[in-house]
Chain A
Amino acid sequence: MAVPNSESLKSNGTYLGRRIARSDGVAKVTGRADYALEHDLAGTVHAVIVESTVPSGRIGNIDLAAARTMPGVLRILTHADALPLKSCPMVPAGSVMESFLPLQDDRIRYNGQPIALVVADSFDHATEAAGRVRIDYKTELAVADIDDPTATLIDVPGAPSSGLARGDAKGALAAAAVRMDVVYTTPREYSCPMEPLGAIAAWGNDGGLTVWMPSQWAEGARRAFSDWFAIPMNKVRVVSPFVGGGFGVKVTAHADSLLAAMAAREMRRPVKLALSRPQNFTGNGLRPAIRQKLTLGASEDGKLQVLIHENTSETSVDDDYVEGGAATARVMYAVPNLSSTQKLVRVSSFTPSWKRAPGEAIGAYALESAMDELAYKLKLDPIELRLRNYASQDPESAKPWSSRRLREAYEAGARAFGWERRSPEPRSMRDGRELIGWGMAGGAFPNVHTPGEARVTIAADGSIEVASSGADIGGGTYTILAQTAADALGVPFEQVRVRLGDTSLPRAPVAGVSQIANLLTGAVDKTARAAREELLTLASSHAGSPFKAKRVNDFTIKDGKIAPTDGSAEAVMISELMRMVGRDRIEVTRNTMPAEKASSEAEQRDAYDSFKYMGPPSSTHATYAWCAQFVEVRVDEDYGTVRVRRMVGAFDCGRLYNPKLAESQWKGGMIMGMGEALLEAIHIDRRYARITNNNLADYVVPVNADVPDIEVISVGEPDFHASALGGKTVGEIGVVGAAAAIANAVFHATGKRVRDLPITMEKLM
């Protein structure tokens, strides 16, 4: 896409590292960004899902008589006549997050499950007819939620955080001078992307399927459609140039896009399926409700001896989803003895899934709250307690950190916040009828890396196109890739056009686990340098070039002009050289697969269509982003309402490719943490095992009026163990620690330790 923002840009500098506004911003705010459901396709008909209104049992008789006679109705699909589907393996082996396939059998797994699909000539006709489908159920007992008295605990051997242990936790606990055990509970949560789920699907005469859908992982969705419909990968195209918020919801394809494709095949015409907002609450996995028990043992002087993390979380009837909360606990402190265990509770819900910073967000809430409680118990400043337990190497692997400027984050955050002016006693700070509380917490988020592929094209006019199927989920991929290519090639930022989110482009893995910025800048840098080399090879050796007898290394490209570095000849515009050497384009595609794997198509497929190649970027070092967050809350003494008045976050995320964009990610994450701490909770009516607040009026997230000025500080330095260009993970770390810092501030304000999120007024009154 075009890059309009050129104000204050100089073309003589390095673009990476500069505060450049998002290149897709103008298109988005003027309505020109082509979101999936706005795609206009001739002959499109509309599909609306009929959902179950009971949580468990079997579908009995389905009476379609009334619905079929409604105006505009073209077709109604049910499990009785829907196309049989094949399954796609779940991640990490495959590319879906739930095994459930709609309309394949008569079994009801959760309240809100798709059980019929009405296709009509308009959305309104389809909606109205959907309301007339009459379904008899043979209901069975459901398990509503984690606290349902009929719920049973199950073990998950082999789960990522199951049975992990170091040292002798039991023995160390018995020997510890100070002991503490606490249970923290967090409710089911919904990610609330502004853009709802939905898709437009169309089948071509050649048996090919094209799906326009918002996706954090177009290649993964392509794999899913290929598997579900048993058609070759190259017959599927997924188009997702813009994503209106993902936060995990759009990592994998769900029943909505699948049903659109199924209906389009049945109807032999394009089908659009847009979930209503209530349907979005059951159209993808939510963060499950979680119970975390933390047991800490420490010496009198605050040295942690042992940490035991016992996690219980919800999963669905079909699948074992594990939200491993112990990840932060394992790396945050130098604690010699540790154990973490995981249990699941099967509830009648959609298979739970990722919400931004899965595991870390909730794990850090518990860990950093427990550290705060321990600090009070030991009468230590919360920062001092953390410094006494500072991990100088990875306590898990004993590898050195690639970088860990967490100490600097504590210092910079505390300084900016004015932490030294804090009076440590709870209830000791107030302003009129408001109690003031200051709290802090730290956080960690692992760096992961997956190979990626990119194409860089130098056109005859000297403009550059960068192409990848990777997503811009709002973090700024379009912008930083243009910065990367501009730097690598020596051209002005405005000359670079970036195309993303389309499987007809070179392949990329998921925009998840905050990896996409690092892996794609790496891939684009490598590819752009290869394109540069090809260009300079022409400059040095082509008969038409004015620079004969020079070597590639003797040239500089600056402002889009090529010149010998020694100044021995006049500079020539890239476009001019292209004309002289008779080329209308230079096109280079490269990937960052390990060299020994790069030639195997099967390995490549694994890299882009599964999570098999996702892993730590370094074998020699442990690589994490780190943060320290500081919060001031005001609690009204009468109402118990908590308002966040200040937030300061200090982050070590390595080199920032674009500080303006990174800061936006941090702030957005911190605001999401505010929602988790104070507002967000799915309400489930146990009688129906159904979500009652399935809309954005009743599921409350922070609004602008709730959000104070947020100060964010970067304390990072380039870390080339973490990524090719020195950046660490940015997108999710802002969430990590935010809820704990707020909860700790609430305790400081009120003297009440609320261990059950969200901290709503009735818990403080």
Chain B
Amino acid sequence: MNNFEYVRATAIPDALKAVARQTGSRFLAGGTTMVDLMKCGVELPSALIDITRLPGLDTIEAGPTSVRIGALSRMSDVADHPTIRKEFPVLSESLWRGASAQLRNMATIGGNLMQRTRCSYFREPGVYGACNKRDPGSGCAALEGINRGHAVLGTSPSCIATNPGDFAVALVAFDATVHVENGKAQRRIPIDDFFLLPGDTPDLEHPLSSDELIVAVEVPTSSALRRSHYLKVRDRESYEFAAASAAVGLELEADGRTIRDVRIALGGIATRPWRARTAEEALVGRTFDEPTVRGASRLAIEGAVDHGENRFKIDLAPRVVARALLTVGGIT
């Protein structure tokens, strides 16, 4: 771990000023990703601007039209928020199934969106020279390496690293917006624009400029959000990243069987949280039954490319989507 300056900010303008003062500064919130990556030698910040004391950023407002979650809210506080648990299950479930109790008690929602990939080749810079995400132009050691956990969707010849998020998958499914500010202005970034595909620039993961701070995440409420679910499949029952996961929501017509609205996003299989709009479109207006759901779920994986060990994800992901939908639709 390199030597770095530590600054504790007490107001948002101070934090933004501090982060702009020198290049290579990073915000520090729960630290569960940042400190980990510093130990790996992946993050080498010149300064850490501790934002955990900033006032007013840890509020959770679960209103009738939207759920607004302050960026400094802890994962566990959001997961355990009574209204969120009861009314918007996918938001709670996707958080409960991430990390471990200790990590959830530390990690913040803003930091959760910024967490980086578990790719082994990304995480050992002293050993693996080739990583375009870490060192643009150096290559990708994962393409022909150990890649059972790597992405099958959204990949490029430059990078196949999986986005490890769970909560972000729910946000993508339900059209959240990310609120950021830079001291002069605030802007709202639609979640679909927040996670970038690797393309030729896998080092660029978000559209944030270096002087911008995430202050909140907002999720519009909907009937589908009220009837939602997060399903995470992995080798062990807890404390592991997804082999494949799905955040889904469902709204039926008054007849109780025709699909009016459906939301599907996948995790653990793509370079970003992956919205499956084609599958959604195939389901709207159709009768909710198992064959229909299974058929449409296969569309969620269209365009998938494997790299050997991760081929099973192409079979697994549609099944996870289908089972998540069947669960939320009451077919168990």
Indicate, yes or no, whether A interacts with B: yes
Interface SS of chain B: loop
Q: Given A697-B118, A703-B239, A706-B237, A128–B3 Cβ distance below 8 Å?
A: yes
- Binary interface encoding of chain A residues 671-704 relative to chain B, with 1 for a CB under 8 A from any of its CBs, else 0: 0000000110001110110101100011010111
* A762 on the B face (CB < 8 A): yes
* Interface stretch of the complex, out of B11-19, B217-225, B312-320: B312-320
Q: Given A692-B120, A706-B238, A128–B146 Cβ distance below 8 Å?
A: no
A692 with B233: CB separation less than 8 A: no
* A760 on the B face (CB < 8 A): yes
Bound CA span A118–B118, Å: 28
Interface SS of chain A: loop
A127 with B1: CB separation less than 8 A: yes
* Interface stretch of the complex, out of A228-236, A252-260, A526-534, A635-643: A635-643
Closest CB in chain A relative to B329 CB, distance in Å: 14
* B255 on the A face (CB < 8 A): no
A124 with B1: CB separation less than 8 A: yes
Q: Given A639-B316, A692-B146, A693-B120, A700–B322 Cβ distance below 8 Å?
A: no
A700 with B243: CB separation less than 8 A: no
| Choice from A678, A684, A690 contacting B235 with Cβ under 8 Å | A678
Which A residues are CB-close (under 8 A) to B68?
Answer: none
Which B residues are CB-close (under 8 A) to A127?
Answer: 1
A131 with B41: CB separation less than 8 A: yes
| Total inter-chain residue pairs, C-beta < 8 Å | 87
Q: Given A685-B145, A700-B236, A761–B243 Cβ distance below 8 Å?
A: yes
Q: Given A131-B41, A703-B238, A761-B243, A641–B1 Cβ distance below 8 Å?
A: no
Bound CA span A636–B320, Å: 11
Which A residues are CB-close (under 8 A) to B144?
Answer: 687
A703 with B235: CB separation less than 8 A: no
Which B residues are CB-close (under 8 A) to A636?
Answer: 233
| Choice from B3, B118, B141 contacting A698 with Cβ under 8 Å | B118
B236 with A706: CB separation less than 8 A: yes
Q: Given A687-B144, A765-B312, A702–B332 Cβ distance below 8 Å?
A: no
List the A residue with the shortest CB-CB distance to B313.
A762
Bound CA span A698–B312, Å: 18
* B185 on the A face (CB < 8 A): no
A703 with B236: CB separation less than 8 A: yes
* B104 on the A face (CB < 8 A): no
A761 with B235: CB separation less than 8 A: yes
* B2 on the A face (CB < 8 A): yes
Which A residues are CB-close (under 8 A) to B1?
Answer: 124, 127-128
Q: Given A638-B322, A760-B235, A761-B243, A688–B312 Cβ distance below 8 Å?
A: no
Q: Given A692-B120, A761-B316, A685–B146 Cβ distance below 8 Å?
A: yes
List the B residue with the shortest CB-CB distance to A50.
B126
Bound CA span A682–B238, Å: 20
B320 with A639: CB separation less than 8 A: yes
Closest CB in chain B relative to A283 CB, distance in Å: 16
* A53 on the B face (CB < 8 A): yes
Q: Given A124-B1, A638-B322, A765-B312, A703–B118 Cβ distance below 8 Å?
A: no
Closest CB in chain B relative to A72 CB, distance in Å: 10
The 7 closest A-B pairs by CB, nearest first: A762-B312, A705-B237, A705-B238, A638-B319, A692-B120, A53-B127, A692-B146
Q: A127-B1, A641-B233 are in contact. List 12 more A-B contacts (CB 8 A).
A: A71-B3, A124-B1, A128-B1, A433-B332, A638-B320, A639-B316, A639-B320, A690-B127, A697-B239, A700-B236, A703-B238, A703-B239
A-B contact pairs, 11 of them (CB 8 A): A641-B235, A679-B235, A684-B146, A693-B120, A693-B146, A697-B239, A697-B241, A705-B236, A705-B239, A706-B237, A761-B312
